[in-house]
Amino acid sequence: MAYEITLLTTMAISVLFALSLNFISGFCGQISLGHAAFYGAGAYTSAMLAKAGAPFLLTLLPAGLVAGAIGLIVGFASLRVRHDFLAITTMGVGFLFIGLVRQQDVLGGELGISAIPSTGLGKIGFMAFAMGLAALFAGFCVYVKRSWMGFVYDSIADNEDVSEIIGIPVSRYKLIAFAIGTAVAGVAGGLYAHHVRFIAPDSFGFVESVTVLAMVIVGGIGSIWGVAFAAAFLSVLPLWFQPIDDFKILLYGALLFAMMRFSPGGLAGLVARLRGVS
């Protein structure tokens, strides 16, 4: 039973993390290759507060705020870059985060932070809490997608220049997307830190950014249910087949190539096409 609880908790955290990137890339069309940096910022913030004696639940809000603040800074600095240049910029942020963490002894340096205090919720309680947060944010994404803001983001993702011409404050909404997406990634990072109870710089490197991007693209960029399904499945696939873990980045790279070549809309697009045929 403990193994199944661990799997479900891992799935819930991955779904929350993937949906946070989907809010930026899927809704607003801003590709990020350094999203793991915000995940890591939340994880380190939550872990440090917990080590200082703060209760688990009181560490998540600061984790989200710190990650969201960094996201706002990155978003503001990235307003004038798009597409490939934006991807390179965010990738640089990811490398910068890893470099800074490794040099800070207060953050554990290369050794990371171990013995992170227990949440006090128990395994089942923590699993339910993580699943609840993932479901809550998924519901929020559905609400945004169906609201007027969803139409705004569709317009920005389709063509930023035309959106500006028709009066949409593109910069403002891009910053909002970055703030929300990175803040939620920070919360997911806080959950991850308390789930594994040990974090190190390598846990939030480029591989992790590619992994979450693969979840979004395989699920169908912009699709809420598709991304959630892909995140849940891909997060536990290496746990089911341990040999795969050594080739995880190769597997995810192959999945990205296959999806972009044969089904650019991901699983959601594939299902939509099958429904259209039937």
Domain boundaries, the chain: 2-202
Q: Enumerate the H helices of the chain as residue ranges.
A: 2-28, 36-51, 56-77, 83-103, 122-146, 148-158, 160-165, 170-196, 206-219, 224-240, 242-245, 248-262, 266-277
Quote the longest CA-to-CA distance of the chain: 59
- Stated pTM of the model: 0.91
- Mean pLDDT to the nearest integer, 72-86: 76
Specify the range with the lowest mean pLDDT, choosing from 63-77, 189-203, 231-245.
231-245
Q: Quick check: 200 pLDDT over 70?
A: yes
- Tokens read off for 155: 């317009």
Q: Quick check: 278 pLDDT over 50?
A: no
- Which percentage of the chain shows pLDDT scores above 70? 93
Residue with tokens 């040099």: 103
pLDDT band (50, 70, 90) for residue 95: confident
Average of per-residue pLDDT values in the chain: 86
Dist. CA 243–CA 44, nearest whole Å: 29
Non-local (6+) Cβ contacts of 118 within 8 A are: 56, 194, 197
Dist. CA 51–CA 158, nearest whole Å: 45
Amino acid making up residue 240: W
- The total number of residues shown for the chain amounts to 278
